[in-house]
Structure 1
């Protein structure tokens, strides 16, 4: 290697200088040789240092490798020990679980029964009116129904108390203060009267339990007025037995009852034709009642006149008929014929007042069902139009036309049938009075013919 360096340096020197001054060239070579020797010595020292440093690093690496192998062996030993301990613990846990199940016996079935009972009672309590008095029991029931492990004894005792409270309060009438949500959504503290778990009301309005709000709420649509009056009377009553509407379905039946339309709403469903039928029926009822009162009053006066036939009075038809020929000087057969004509004329004058309004009532009787039929046809037209536009998938869309058809039919028959009976009564009463007039006039005429004399026919 040194030889190569010398040759390289020699080649690097300028050739003219060597040729011109051999002495200088020799000294330069010596200097160069010396430099080469110094560089070689320095390189040798560097190489020696590098070798020593490499040997040191090699020894350190070997020591580190040995240490790492020792640490790995120790870690493997610890891991094996941990695995062995873990396996032993798992085995011990399995043995303990087996011992626990063996010792628990029926406790597992008891826990399943508790969860099932708590879930079933939670569904009942979520709709029960009694929950308004115990709003905190929902958390206890949720914990029991959703718990995976064994329930604490305190929770089981609380669950038993809730069951007993529900059973006891179901047969008790209670008054208490509770938050109530009105129909507008406002919440206020009010006095509530609860009848078992069936009905609750405040201020004469029926309440149901809202599980989402956790409070009592008024029915958005209250039942009919007579049901609300029962609630008001029950609140005011202090003792004794009072009728009351109860709902075993926790509000479902009350809601269905509240959805029933009132009389005014049913009439509105019938439309204009329904109001026309009602107006006609009301007018017929007023006229029929007026005529019935008139006939009853006239009948009483006629019976009074029959008791005193010799003194005719002008306040009744019979008295006016008898007075038609009083003091008549007629004699003989011809005069009897004149008397008969006068009696017939007097009776004919009385008949219109006795049979008043009967033709109009017969017209109303005939027109009521016909108007109802018109409403029926109109309602069916509306129903078919809805079916054509919306289809027959939702029956509620057709309810309007069907309601109009049925309501008008019912109203038409409801007007015609009572009017038919009333008109029959009026006809019967008027026929009885006309028959009395005919009988008395015929008897009067017969007596006049038998006597064959003029003068006072009533003598």
Structure 2
């Protein structure tokens, strides 16, 4: 196309001077016509050449486009295969990750179980040598207790073999005489009873107790724990063989932990001391509430509900008795409802006298009932306050010393639990007693009202006759 445009422009530029000279000479026009014809032929040839070139390029472009389309289709197909393969690889990766996590968890459990059992066997190790134990088993088990150590199969077999031998030895008992270190540290000959592989009792003169194996010591050593009189008697009978029949013996199933650090003997006084300062007012409330309940039980227990008999006495002529002569509230109410001459008055006046008499009789009956109720409500609140105080104390200890030692936390927890328990132990009986005492007062009140109503009805019917 560029060649065609160039040829047209050359023709126009060549013809312009000729036509501008007003067509002066015909020969010039002939030459121009020949030139134009020549240029037309050249232009046609150029156009044909350009058209052929365009057709060739178009064909080439079509072939290139088809080839690109085929390549794109092949690329898309390959990408689909790669995506499918990638999804499969990801699924396999997830399966392998889950399997790896399971195996790692199993390995952690195995390592933890082996480490814990090895430590348990070392800490509560037999107080005397068990026959059949492998040489150097203690050193091997100590290596197995390392945090990052993963046991080999041989080490696991050694641990299992040692535990089986210890369990087997735990079912045997042996009575021997051997040197032991008693509580004062001296080495003496004592009668020792081995029951099981992990515990032994001894008797050396008047001293009895339990033995433990101290690493590096030449003989077993006595625990600092002092048996009470009952335990000492059982140990002496079992060691000397003087007991008739089987003799029960105390056993420390924790492998010596309780004997090495025995818990303090708890009594009522120690429980009160562990309860903190809020336990004292709760106990005071309990004592005061108990005294008030006892007084109310005695007082209300003497009150009889005999309103019907009192009304019958008044109606059958016994009307000259004064109001103070009544022994029960119903009798006093009935006497107050009558006139000083002993005759019932009109119904309206008798109703007013009934209300006044019942109101006068209520205060002695309801005395201390509200106090008992208030004490029953305050007691659990004080227990809750003690619980909050104990929890605050526990968190202060955790902040200062951490939570590694449970004994440091026991004081606050004991205060929290003991005050809550004491508050409930005081509140529940007081509430029950308040309920029964209130029912008793209501019964007496109903008896007084029933007696007064009966007397009013009897007076009304007598006046109508």
TM-score interval w.r.t. the shorter chain? 0.3 to 0.5
| Bigger radius of gyration | 1
TM-score, length-scaled by structure 1? 0.48
TM-score, length-scaled by structure 2? 0.47
